[in-house]
Chain A
Amino acid sequence: MSIGSPDSTVGVEEHPASAEPVRAASVAHGKSPTRIAMDRLRKDKLAMVCVGIILFFILVAVFAPLLAKLEGQTFSAFHTDLVDEFGFPTTGPNSQHWLGVEPKTGRDNFARWVYGARPSLIVAFSATLFGTAVGVVAGLLAGFLGGWTDRIISWIIDFVLSLPYLLFAIALVPIVESMRGGSFNLTPEEQASTRFYVLIFVLSFFGWAGLARIIRGEVLSLREREFVLAAKAIGVPTRQVLFKELLPNLVAPIVISASLSLPAYVTAEAGLSFLGVGLVEPVPSWGQTIAVATNWFKADPIFLWLPVLGITALVLSMALLGDAVRDAFDPKTRR
């Protein structure tokens, strides 16, 4: 036997195979539940494809200006010479306009599509981030501290869940506009950005309560467990008990909730924009494009297919990834 490198199989050879029970390759040991879940996830081919697709869209959104520049177009310039008298585009996809132009206005489809990925992703990610953070903290506090804190937080959760979310989204826009100086003093860009922030706020405001309720329930059952009682008994400060003892045990519900809310927010943004209460021009967004494009479906199918494909691919891969994450974290799942 030649001498191998120090960490080669030398040690293993010294123990006869029968000395230790053989572990199945799939059974990990000495790893945290999160590591186990991640390992499982990594082996899930479908999940990895989904991650790829989501990464693709993130890259498209991040490099939207660059991509548009590469094509040589902007998302806002009108090219009315490229549509006929009735608004139908006279050119299909070509080297100048890779995916053709919009009916009526002649704005570039490709540029609008890459820029349209931005609001969807920004809104979805920031609303998820904010909603999760608030939800987790509120749920932890309510469940662990109990008493009046619990009653107040639970009441707020119930209150938020009972508010009509669509009405709220519509009503908040003029209020925020007047806080920013009234619609008379705002430029169209400022008005559009107001809509953008209001949308993020509304989605996250209505998103945290559900998660907070789940976390509170989990904490209620966890706080009577021995390790928490022990930590309390030896005088560990509340903050540390919450974030060092309890939080790691809550990773699974948090990750699952976040991964499932992402696609929900993408759809919500597109849906609200489609209905006209979400984003408005001049911000390009897929939801708005779909609202217009349904009327031009026969004449210009690519105009409708682009945003529909974008949203479908993004939401589907996010949802499948969310499912995969849940399966990975749940040891009982068998496929």
Chain B
Amino acid sequence: MQWKRITAVAATVMLAAVACGSPSSNNNSGGGKVQEGTTQEKATDPTAKGPAAEIDGAKKGGTVTILSDVTPDTFDPTNIYYVDGNQIGKLFYRALTQYKLDEKTGKPVLVPDLAEDLGTKSADGLTWTFKLKQGIKYSDGSLVKAEDYAYSIKRSFAHELYDSGPTYQIQFFKDGEKYKGPYAAGGDNYSGVETPDQNTLVIHLAKKFDDLPFYAAFPLFTPIPKSKDTQKNYEQKPLATGPYMVQSYNAGTSLNLVKNPNWDPNTDPVRHQYVDGYNFKFSQDLIKAQRQVLASNGPDANALSYSNLDTSLLPEVKDQSQLVKGDGPCTITLPMDTRKIPFEVRKLVAAAYPYDAWRKVAGLNSNDSPPASTILPRAVPGFEKYELPGLNGTGKGAQDPAVAADVKAKLAALGKSNFELSQYYSIDDKISTQVFQLRKQVFEAAGFKYKGIGVAKAKIRTYTGDQNAPVNIGKTPAGWCSDWPSGTSWFPVLFKSDAIALGNSIGQLQDKTLDAEIDRVTALDPNAQLKEWGKIDKMILEKYLPAIPLYYSASDFPIGKNLGHVINDVTQGMPEFTSIYVKQP
């Protein structure tokens, strides 16, 4: 049990400061074999058609067991937001769009799912029309109707009931702030979504939201028939559209999936139906479960654990092919308040930062937290690898006496000797206090004054989340995870001047030139944006340095010896469940 505790602690510390657009319940992350330094050519493919290409050597049959230490909070399609619920949900919920991972590079491409295309927007960008595939059936054999899509969108406005689900619809859809969902009085009448005929879904927006096709991949866009909606109990026996359906679900303990006979592979460009079923076992002891998976004895050979391998188990890994590695959707940084720390001093902070020592004290290793040199993580299309001198997430920093003396001299030359850096830390968290002590020792050696304000761990996010907090480094968001793999989920949200008011600003930048540049790229076609985000990324670090990139999230989880084609989905940092097969069923 001790192991679980410290893992939870470590996870909290690492992610405590990360405001994930998608709050991830675990800090593992994934990805296929993404090649560094290459820009992706294509972010979307509206023409992808089912069935998905067969995987070499894949066999049918067998049951996969997933042993998980964490427990997804919900499987209600409207309420799913955490990465694990999202990823598991893909096995039985189909939405309007979905991601196809490139077989060679592992990069995600947005493709249609239950929609025929990726939606068409009107000239003013405020009306989106999705053509719907016909003949789709639910797991009980009944036909999916256009009204069901409209109903599930209406359902997502009942945010009081489904309070952990995503909220972009409230922000962007027409009357989003006013409409309270289908259960409220007059709930049937919502003008934001229309179904003129059985193969068309029209969505009206209050303001432009060009990322809607990406957002439409969330399970809240799966069809739900109004007559079958049992509100909070729907997750117990949901109607499935995907290749599997729920046989039994015990909240917090287990989820058993069996084949859905009414799923038609010809309509689905991504999913497969190789195995007979999935058994998810939640709330397992992390160390015990991962040890079982690594040993692969008997039924454990068909098991996997989607949490990152615990460091203490490293010596027990005999076969490296049992570890699935890859990129994740997050970057963690050390933000510096640009209003309080001058640019020249920010550069000295970056030079003095003791990356190597910090990584050790914070318990990070290159398998699950590779050093970062950019703002966009490798998993997001548009990532372009570059390294500014001294900004690659590694190095001794001012632990090297020569560097310390150099920084000290430069600070003095700027007239900023004893410049005070201040941060919050959790007084009741060992890693947080140790990191603080390390930074204090190192930065004071480099001629800074370093102040820490110790607050209770339970409250630290309230303090660090205040954009005007009386500290100048380490305010949240200290990192970011993308809700969808696109630069638009990053730069406009984090670095524009209005991000301060939204409480999302990294470094509290207020710069008109940068705002204009980000707006220019956001207005481009998604495929054309890919080449531009890398330039903006570099420009921000070079000219503004609002944060020091520290590390990317990454996957490194153990799988049983009998499992084939387990790859990481870089959009979630989770295994791609829908293409797994059992080698010897």
A281 touches B453 (CB 8 A): no
Most chain A CB inside 10 Å of its own CB: which residue of B2, B311, B436, B451: B311
**Is B454 within 8 A of A87, CB to CB?**
no
User: A276 touching B428 by the CB < 8 A rule?
Assistant: yes
Assess whether B210 is interfacial by the CB under 8 Å rule. no
Q: Does A80 lie within 8 Å of B311, measured CB to CB?
A: no
Number of interface residues of A (CB under 8 A): 32
In the complex, the answer to whether A105 meets B434 with C-beta atoms within 8 Å is yes
Q: Report chain B residues within 8 Å CB of A282.
A: 433, 437
Q: Which of A45-78 contact B (CB under 8 A)?
A: 76-78
Chain B neighbourhood of A106, CB < 8 A: 360
Interface pair A191/B454, CB less than 8 Å apart: yes
Asked if A298 CB lies within 8 Å of chain B CBs, one says yes
Report chain B residues within 8 Å CB of A148.
none
Instruction: Please judge, given known A-B contacts A87-B311, A188-B452, whether A80 and B361 are in contact too, CB under 8 Å.
Output: yes
Contact B360 A85 (CB under 8 A): yes
Using known A-B contacts A188-B436, A281-B434, determine if residue A80 contacts B365 with beta carbons closer than 8 Å. Answer: no
Given the contacts A76-B437, A295-B2, A295-B3, A87 and B360 also touching, CB distance less than 8 Å: yes
CB–CB B430/A281 < 8 A: yes
**Distance from A178 Cβ to chain B, minimum over Cβ atoms (Å):** 12
A222 interface residue per 8 A CB criterion: no
Question: Are B365 and A105 within 8 A (Cβ)?
Answer: no
- Chain A contacts with B in 268-327, Cβ cutoff 8 A: 276-277, 280-282, 288, 291-292, 294-296, 298-299
Cβ-closest chain A residue relative to B470: A184
Chain B residues contacting A80 (CB-CB under 8 Å) are: 354, 356-357, 360-361, 399, 438
CB neighbours of A280 from chain B (8 A): 427-428, 433, 454
A-contact 0/1 string along B253-286, CB 8 Å cutoff: 0000000000000000000000000000000000
Q: Within 8 Å of chain A (Cβ to Cβ): is B363?
A: yes
How far, in angstroms, from A183 to B311 measured CA to CA in the complex? 34
- Is B3 touching A105 in the complex (CB atoms < 8 A)? no
Question: Which chain A residue shows the least CB distance to B358?
Answer: A80
Q: Counting CB contacts under 8 A, is A152 at the interface?
A: no
Indicate whether A104 sits within 8 Å of B363 (C-beta atoms), given known contacts A188-B433, A280-B433, A298-B312: yes
* Cα–Cα, bound, A82→B363 (Å): 14
CA distance A294 to B430 in the complex (A): 14
B453 adjacent to A291 (CB under 8 Å) = no
Q: Are A104 and B361 in contact (CB under 8 A)?
A: yes
Indicate if the CB atoms of B312 and A299 lie closer than 8 Å: yes
CB neighbours (8 Å) of A81 from chain B are 357
Output the nearest chain A residue to B362 by Cβ-Cβ distance.
A104
Q: Is the CB of A186 within 8 A of B312?
A: no
Give the number of residues in B that approach A within 8 Å (Cβ atoms): 32
Within 8 A of A (CB), among B277-312: 311-312
| In the complex, chain B residues whose CB is within 8 Å of the CB of A294 | 2
A76-B437, A78-B441, A104-B360 known; A86 vs B314 contact (CB < 8 Å): yes
CA distance in complex: A299, B314 (Å) = 11
Contacts of A87 in B (CB 8 A): 311, 360, 363, 365
Asked if A295 and B6 sit within 8 Å, CB to CB, the answer is yes
Query: Which residues does chain B contribute within 8 Å of A295, judged by CB atoms?
Result: 2-3, 6, 312
Cross-chain contact B433 with A105 (CB below 8 angstroms): no
Check: B456 CB closer than 8 A to any chain A CB: yes
| Residue of B365, B427, B436, B451 with most partner-chain A CB within 10 A | B427
Residues of B within 8 A of A83 (CB): 360
A187 CB to closest chain B CB (Å) equals: 8
Contacts of A78 in B (CB 8 A): 357, 361, 437-438, 441
- A217 interfacial contact with B, CB 8 Å: no
Task: Collect the chain B residues with CB atoms within 8 Å of residue A276's CB.
Answer: 428
Chain B contacts for A92, CB-based, 8 A: none
A303–chain B nearest beta-carbon distance, Å: 13
Residue among A77, A186, A191, A296 making CB contact with B441, cutoff 8 Å: A77
B150: min CB distance to chain A, Å: 50
Given contacts A188-B454, A298-B312, contact A292 B430 (CB under 8 A): yes
- A174 in the interface (beta carbon within 8 A): yes
Interface of chain B residues 415 through 442 with chain A (CB within 8 A): 427-428, 430, 433-434, 436-438, 441
Binary contact readout A167-203 vs B (1 if CB under 8 angstroms, 0 otherwise): 0000000100000000110111001000000000000
Evaluate whether A291 and B430 lie within 8 angstroms (CB atoms) in the complex, with A78-B437, A86-B314, A86-B365 already known. Answer: yes
Q: Could you list 10 A-B pairs, sorted by A, with CB under 8 Å?
A: A76-B437, A77-B441, A86-B314, A105-B360, A105-B434, A280-B428, A280-B454, A281-B433, A282-B437, A288-B430
Which residues of B come within 8 Å of A, CB atoms? 2-3, 6, 311-312, 314, 354, 356-357, 359-361, 363, 365-366, 399, 427-428, 430, 433-434, 436-438, 441, 451-456, 470
A residues contacting B by CB (< 8 A) are: 76-78, 80-81, 83, 85-87, 104-106, 174, 183-184, 186-188, 191, 276-277, 280-282, 288, 291-292, 294-296, 298-299
Q: Which are the 7 A-B pairs with shortest beta-carbon distances?
A: A80-B357, A281-B433, A80-B360, A295-B6, A294-B2, A191-B454, A86-B365
4 additional A-B pairs beyond A104-B360, A183-B453, A280-B428, beta carbons within 8 Å, are A78-B438, A105-B434, A186-B454, A295-B312
